[in-house]
Amino acid sequence: MKVVNIITFIVAFMLLISGIYGLNLGPFSIEGGQHQRSNQIGSYLCISCIGLSGTRVSHDLTDETLERLKKINYPVEIWVFTSDDCPTCPDAKAIIFNFTVENPNITYQEIRLETQPELFDTYSVSELPTTIFFNKDGVVLRKDNFVYKIIGIDRLQEKTIEAIEMVS
Amino acid sequence: MGKIKKIRTLSQSISLVLINIGFLGIFVKHLTFPVFNCYACPWASIGCPIGLLQNFVMNGQVPTYVMGAMGSVFVVVGSAFCGWICPFGFFQDAIDFVKGIIKKNNKKTVRKRKINYKSIDLSLITRLIVLLTTLVLAFTFVDTIFCKLCPVGTIQAAFPYQITYGFSYNIWLAARIGILVLLLVMFFVISRFWCRYLCPIGALAGPSNKISLLKMYHNGNNCDGCNICKDVCPLDIDVMKDQNSSRCTRCADCIDKCPKGHLAFGLDIFGLVAVSPFKKKKPKVPEKKAVVTSSKGIPEVEKRLETEVSEQRRQDVSEEFKYEDKEKLVERPTYMGFKKGERVYVPYEEIKKIGIRPPKTSLSVLLKQYSEGRLGEDYNATEAFVDETVGEKLRDTPKTFPREEVDKKYFEKFRIPKRTELHSEHLKYLKNLDVYLDVKAIANSIDDIPAVLLAIVDGSDRIKFQYMNTREQSANWYYKDKLPSVYINEKYYNSLFSEDEIIYKIKLEKYMIENTSLVLDYKKCIGCNAQNCKKVCDIFNKIPPMEDGYSVYPLKEFDCTLCGKCLVECERGGISFIFGEKHIEDSNFSIETIKKNRELISSIDPKTFMLFLEKNKKHSNRALNYAIALSYLSHGKLSYQLIDISINEELALKRNISAVPCFWISNKIQVSGMISESSILAFVRKISKWKE
């Protein structure tokens, strides 16, 4: 029994150290150690993965949205925070892309976690996908002193058009 | 709530805050502990190990970091995180607490049934199944399926998100709420249901109990098998059989509740075991210390009295042997606006009826008078009750003054101070006392004598009271470790100086004197030259000598106090005492061996034992004589209490008494049946722990 105890002890701490110092085991490898990786997973949560938001929405804009979109005559910039792991981020991107197609005043930019993680921190984005809005001066849209964020893809269309009208 | 449980609750609540300290902007999500806390919670500061495991497995990696982080905790403390830190465990404990409140109203105590049939412990298997399915689902569907159904996620993440970002329905939400409701119901039915059957972290934590450094130990030597540990265990573990069960959450409720303190945590460092000592819970009574003298009378090392024995005795004597007629005496009539039942001083009128004089002089002077024998005369003198002062007082007061108020003022002055604060019933009892009693008080000064004792002594003229200064030579015989010490009929009674206690002792003594008789056996008494009996006691001068046969004298008739001096001092064994009036000849009776151990018996500590006897029986009489001899030889420190078993059956039935006569202190320390001198000495050895 003593031998088993000692072996488990050693194995447990070996695993811990290997996790911290990036000794990756397994068919696929990742950038950095599992230590950093787990930080990424924990900090920037794909909320559809946890089942907090729906996973299926249609990308087509409704007639009501189009009507309201046509009235917009000021430039609006939309940022979509995405990640490679996130299964619903492409949906969000597609919907926002449809907005830019319908109205040239609206532009969008994709912020990827893998390339620009510092922007996630500046806007304190911890969920994916997240959408935020800027006006022509590059000032972020705020509501009640907080950055106005649309999290997830549930009713993204309705929320986005409301936000665009709020930018003015 | 026990002490450990309080600490545990504190630890759980602090860790709940620390784990979810994100509201201060502190996030350390690369850290993970084996606790069940959703990392999607907006305030969660650490990562969820199961969520991370799924993520790593889903991305095709061996989750070395998470396994290492969890394993390194498990190998050290086992599943202690489950019981002491895990927020979901805390949640379930809270539900148990609510359940306890509801149950308390219905039932008092619930003892768990003893399961006779062999039941297979499925809890670990179900937990492992949950863990494996979680990982397999994550790997096959490349999705965190478990997180979508997780009840912690529902509480910590789904509800906050739904509230802040508006309600949005999806199928997972319905499923997870359904699961949460189901679980909540199960928590109310089975405590810690999640930890027991479903927790995937517990699947790894449970087996680690067997190999971790922290282990629970049980000292089985003195275990009674009360199985309280099993009853209090929220996870229904048979703690006696398996202290390091794979189901255990290390909540330490069993350690908390074990009445003997036989369970403890210990560190098992690869065979080197360091266990915290099995501490017995100390009784709340302050420990008695006694100087045990050697046989030469020189005080030796201070030794603690055995707590168990003294505690038991304390319980028995104080609870069962309380003054029997107490219930009748609690209430007393109202006097002049005093509340009923309140302890009031006896008014002048009533004292006059009873015949006690209000003291006009100070207590010390009175006591002096008493010792000189002058005070007794005053009782019957009419002068003491002359209303001179009353008349003057009344004359001085204006006539318009209402009569009642005058009375009140007058009586307030004349209320008797402390020393006559007696029940009127007690006073009547003392007034009618027809037995001669001898009370001695040994103290450093007169003022140290308890006032209640003085009041009682004042109450009857059949009580002979004697005050002894500790420096006096005659006081050397008496026990002086606890001053003031009070002797009633040469027996040390110092337990409590309350009115009821002393009266009760007096009643005991009275019963003793009324029911015992002195026997002079003239076959043995040959009118020796020594005449020890006559030197010791005046009584023997009154008794006319006979030539042959025996004579029985009931003690009540010639004011004997049953001190036992004569019994011990007579060298020929001519004097003995009997319980009852009928003399039964006992040729083998002698107390020589007890007398030989005189010095050793005198070094004993004060104790009271019960003596269960039958009237007019040979062995009972013998036991009584031994008791009297013991009491005298121990300088009155061993006092005894006679119980006629034919009258007081209940008292005997309560105790495990095998035979009569019986010397009884506790169930462990008793001598019963045909009592010999050697068994008496063994009894003395037991109670004093005295060694040769």
CB contact under 8 A, A54 and B66: no
Least confident of A134-138, B47-51, B326-330, B590-594: B326-330
Chain centroid to CA B212: how far? 39
A35 and A83 share a domain? no
**Do A153 and A80 share a domain, yes or no?**
yes
Residues 6+ apart with CB under 8 A from B4: B252, B253, B255, B256
* A:B CB pairs within 8 Å: 157
Number of domains in chain A: 2
Nearest CA in chain A to B143: A49
Question: Which residue, chain included where needed, has tokens 């050397």?
Answer: B476
**Residue B544, C-beta contacts closer than 8 angstroms, at least 6 positions apart:** none
Residue B37: HSE in the Cβ half-sphere, 13 Å Cα cutoff:
29
Q: Is residue A57 part of a domain?
A: no
Is the per-residue pLDDT at B183 higher than 90? yes
pLDDT tens for B289-323 read: 544 444 444 445 445 444 444 443 333 333 333 33
Nearest to B201 by CA among B137, B144, B124: B124
Per-residue pLDDT tens digits for B139-153? 898 888 898 899 998
Question: What CATH class has B515-688?
Answer: alpha beta
In terms of domains, do A32 and A79 share one? Answer: no
Torsional class of B215: left (φ above 0), alpha (ψ -120 to 50), beta (otherwise): beta
A100 in the same domain as A30:
no
Contacts of B271 in chain A (CB under 8 A): 2
Chain A: closest CA distance from residue B236 (Å): 26
Contact A26 B72 (CB under 8 A): no
Tell me, yes or no, whether A151 and A75 share the same domain. yes
Contacts of A54 in chain B (CB under 8 A): 168-170
Asked if residue A52 belongs to a domain, the reply is: no
Q: Which residues of B touch A155 (CB under 8 A)?
A: 166, 168
Are A25 and B64 a contacting pair at CB < 8 A?
A: yes
Closest CA to B175 of B153, B201, B205, B156: B153
Contacts of A1 in chain B (CB under 8 A): 211
Which chain A residues have a beta carbon less than 8 Å from that of B40? Answer: 45, 47, 50, 52
Give the per-residue pLDDT at B362: 53
Distance CA B586, CA B588 (A): 6
Question: Are both A151 and A70 inside the same structural domain?
Answer: yes
Q: And the tokens for B649?
A: 């059956």
A103-158, pLDDT tens digit by residue?
Answer: 888 999 999 888 888 888 888 888 888 999 998 888 888 888 888 888 888 888 88
> What is the predicted ipTM?
0.85
| Interchain proximity A34–B64, CB inside 8 Å | yes
Query: pLDDT of A48-93, one tens digit each?
Result: 777 777 777 888 889 999 999 888 889 999 999 998 878 888 888 9
* Axis crossing angle, helix B200-208 with helix B49-58, rounded to the nearest 10: 110
Residue B684: the pLDDT is 85
Count Cβ neighbours within 10 Å for each residue of A53-63 and write b for 16 or more, e otherwise. Answer: bbbebebebee
A139 with A67, same domain?
yes
Domain encompassing residue A6: 2-43
Closest partner residue to A26 among B61, B74, B153, by Cβ? B61
Nearest by CB to B40, from A5, A52, A155: name it. A52
Element (H, E) at B468: strand B463-469
Yes or no: say if B47 and B29 are a contact pair by the CB < 8 Å rule.
Answer: yes
Residues A125 and A67 in one domain: yes
Identify any residues that bridge with B550 across adjacent strands, giving them in sequence order.
B521
Residue A30: inside a domain = yes
Which residues of chain A does B68 touch, with a Cβ-Cβ cutoff of 8 Å? Answer: 12-20
Using CB atoms, which residue from B56, B68, B168 is nearest to A12?
B68
User: How close does chain B come to A11, measured CA to CA in Å?
Assistant: 8
> Model confidence over B540-585: pLDDT tens digits?
877 776 666 778 888 888 788 888 888 888 877 788 888 887 877 7
Q: How far apart are CA A68 and CA A76, in angstroms?
A: 14
Domain residues of chain B, as ranges?
A: 3-206, 333-422, 515-688
Contact A5 B39 (CB under 8 A): no
At residue B144, φ and ψ (nearest 5 deg) are: -85, 80
Asked if B257 contacts B277 with a C-beta cutoff of 8 angstroms, the reply is no
The C-alpha of B275 sits at a distance from chain A's nearest C-alpha, in angstroms, of 18
* Maximum mean pLDDT: which of B5-14, B239-248, B582-591, B638-647: B5-14
A87 and A31 fall within a common domain:
no
